[in-house]
Amino acid sequence: MNIREEFKNKYQIEPITVNTRLEDESYLTVKHEDFIPACLALHKLCHSPVMMMFAEDKRKTRSCYRLNTAFYAANTQHWYYICLDFPGADQEFPSVAKEIYSATLFEREIWEMFGIRPEGSPDLRRLRLHEEVWPEGYFPLRKDFTPPPATGRTGQEYNFIKGEGEGLFEVPVGPVHAGIIGPGHFHFTAAGEPIINLELRLGFTHRGVEKLMEGKTLTEALKLCECVSGDAAFAHSLACCSAAEKIFDLTVPARAKLIRAICLELERMYNHINDIGGIALDVGFSFASSFASVMKETILQLNDSISGNRYLKGVNVIGGVTKDINERSAAGLIGKLKTLNTDLKGLEEILFSSASFMDRVDSTGILRQKTAEDIGIIGLAGRASGLTLDLRTNTEPYRLAGFKPIVLGTGDALARLKIRLLEFKQSVQLINSFAGQLASGALASIPAGIKEDFALGAVEGWRGPVLYWLKLDSNQKIERCKITDPSFHNWEGLSYAVQGEIIPDFPLCNKSFDLSYSGNDL
């Protein structure tokens, strides 16, 4: 669509500038009063939640903050941004969250990290810089940030949403959980058995990744990306690389693209099988879970044999890959996958023929399509609730392999389980197809020249879209890097899915989403 025309005719909005330097991204800078209407217009036009919203501190050069709100038009695979520049002295911008719910968390993030207030926002509680340990008035992502002289014991507390009424009770859980798992606090309000509200408080693994990124070279940054969310290390580094490649206008060699796609699918496979086992474990079906854990280990060892790392770290470089898959290892890979596929079918039969297992997962933790759409659920959890978004659709090399996203509609734990089973088998097929296409060629192109620019890297990781928005300064160091893991969108989905369920079903619901703590907390 011609966005300028569309905006003018349909919405009477005239952007100040439209930047279409990149093929699949458009940046529309708008006037202050047009900001909310423009966001609403794109929200409608693209049928997209706020995919990402972030600020940049440009007070030094242009004495303003810039706010970018990103939407994704899936039918044209195009990213649209509404950009707003506002004077540094203002420290305020109109809240989008009042109109579009999926902006809420992003606005809370901007408020705590930059100290610029979304005017009229319904919720301004902190996300990651916990009130208990971080004093007021210190905003890490400002360029002139200096750390507070002391932290810890501020005397402040987080305000949980309180349920009131006869017989209601609250169950606080975490941050340290019973299992070997990341930390997070779950605050249940229950009426008898059923949960009437679950509030999540995360941020316990906050490490200040976005600040650490600033001033790093791309090579240094790539290392850090692999440690943002360890179980999605490959998707994260790929997203970072594709952003950089767009900045440098690099064409990635066909062979490298295929190897990347193979690795991305391997990452999906080991995580999906991990969760299938996890779901079985959380309903007490330990045989199935052990079975799955052996399959996971097999894939991790497979990763190790083709890339030298069980978590596929170190495979990506800007411009391509460092590891080759030769004919012999491709044949080995395909052979192993065949066995895994048979194993999966066996596991599936075992799970689906157990009445007590099915009883637990069927229609448990339902996330309705309407709810999922309204709160902006993306990725695997979205597809289980009938939303079709999958960034792999219509992109190479997936198009050639005949890729179609797998979408189910019931939105319960069973649907999320089935999607994993189906995607696992699909990944096997995809890898077979990719491996068959491997023609000889270079592994990487070399970036050249000096580019002071920005771009978005977007990758459909196993949980969903992993987004890296990267901006380089004139010294080729990173000026701003905004990271959005799908977990940031989807944790909210969990708190809706468990409403009405009983607390003992919570672990199962949680596992059926299996979101990242560290990817969310950054």
Partner 1 sequence: MAILKIIKNRLVKGIVDLRREELMPEIEALGKELKRVINRRFRGSFHLREVDTGSCGACESEIIATTNPIYDVQRFGVNFVASPKHADALLVTGPVSRNMLLALQKTYEAIPGEKFVITLGDCALNGGLFKDSYYTLGGVDKVLKVDLHIPGCPPTPTEIIKRLLSLLIAPGEI
State the residues that interact with partner 1 by CB under 8 A.
Answer: 128-130, 132-134, 140, 145, 147, 151-152, 175-176, 178-183, 203-209, 211-212, 223-224, 227-231, 233, 274, 287, 290-291, 293-294, 296-297, 300, 310-311, 313, 346, 349-351, 353-355, 357, 516-518, 521
Does residue 175 contact residue 488 with C-beta atoms inside 8 Å? no
Binding residue count for ligand SF4, defined by CB under 6 A: 2
Of the two residues 28 and 235, which places its CB atom closer to ligand SF4 in the complex?
A: 235
CA 219/CA 240 separation, integer angstroms: 10
Least distance from partner 1 to the Cβ atom of residue 80, Å: 31
> Using CB distances below 5 to 8 A depending on partner kind, what does residue 349 bind out of partner 1, ligand SF4, none?
partner 1
> Using CB distances below 5 to 8 A depending on partner kind, what does residue 207 bind out of partner 1, ligand SF4, none?
partner 1
Tokens 């050069």 -> residue: 61
Q: What is the phi/psi pair of residue 194, to 5°?
A: -65, 145
∠ Cα 52 374 113 (to 5°): 35
CA 179/CA 287 separation, integer angstroms: 18
Q: Which of 489, 488, 485 is nearest to 377 (CA)?
A: 489
Least distance from ligand SF4 to the Cβ atom of residue 296, Å: 16
Of the two residues 4 and 310, which places its CB atom closer to partner 1 in the complex?
A: 310
Of the two residues 206 and 360, which places its CB atom closer to partner 1 in the complex?
A: 206
Q: What is the DSSP string of 151-201?
A: -S--S----PPPP-STTEEEEEE-SS-SSS----EEEEEEESSBEEEEEEE
Least distance from partner 1 to the Cβ atom of residue 428, Å: 19
Least distance from ligand SF4 to the Cβ atom of residue 180, Å: 13
Of the two residues 93 and 270, which places its CB atom closer to partner 1 in the complex?
A: 270
Q: Which of 484, 357, 514, 519 is nearest to 103 (CA)?
A: 484
> Using CB distances below 5 to 8 A depending on partner kind, what does residue 176 bind out of partner 1, ligand SF4, none?
partner 1
Of the two residues 77 and 151, which places its CB atom closer to partner 1 in the complex?
A: 151
- The side-by-side arrangement of strands in the sheet containing 195-201 is 168-173, 185-191, 195-201
Q: Which of 93, 80, 78 is nearest to 35 (CA)?
A: 93
Of the two residues 233 and 279, which places its CB atom closer to partner 1 in the complex?
A: 233
Of the two residues 18 and 212, which places its CB atom closer to partner 1 in the complex?
A: 212
Least distance from partner 1 to the Cβ atom of residue 479, Å: 18
CA 185/CA 139 separation, integer angstroms: 23
> Using CB distances below 5 to 8 A depending on partner kind, what does residue 129 bind out of partner 1, ligand SF4, none?
partner 1
CA 24/CA 3 separation, integer angstroms: 13
Least distance from ligand SF4 to the Cβ atom of residue 481, Å: 17
Q: What x/- string results for residues 213 through 232 when contact with ligand SF4 is judged by CB under 6 A?
A: --------------x--x--
CA 319/CA 266 separation, integer angstroms: 21
CA 352/CA 476 separation, integer angstroms: 54
The residue sitting closest to ligand SF4, measured at its beta carbon, is: 227
> Using CB distances below 5 to 8 A depending on partner kind, what does residue 150 bind out of partner 1, ligand SF4, none?
none
> Using CB distances below 5 to 8 A depending on partner kind, what does residue 290 bind out of partner 1, ligand SF4, none?
partner 1
Of the two residues 230 and 332, which places its CB atom closer to ligand SF4 in the complex?
A: 230
> Using CB distances below 5 to 8 A depending on partner kind, what does residue 183 bind out of partner 1, ligand SF4, none?
partner 1
- Packing angle, helices 218-225 and 233-247, rounded to 10: 150
What torsion, rounded to 10 degrees, do the Cα atoms 426, 427, 433, 438 define? 170
Q: Which residues bind ligand SF4 (CB under 6 A)?
A: 227, 230
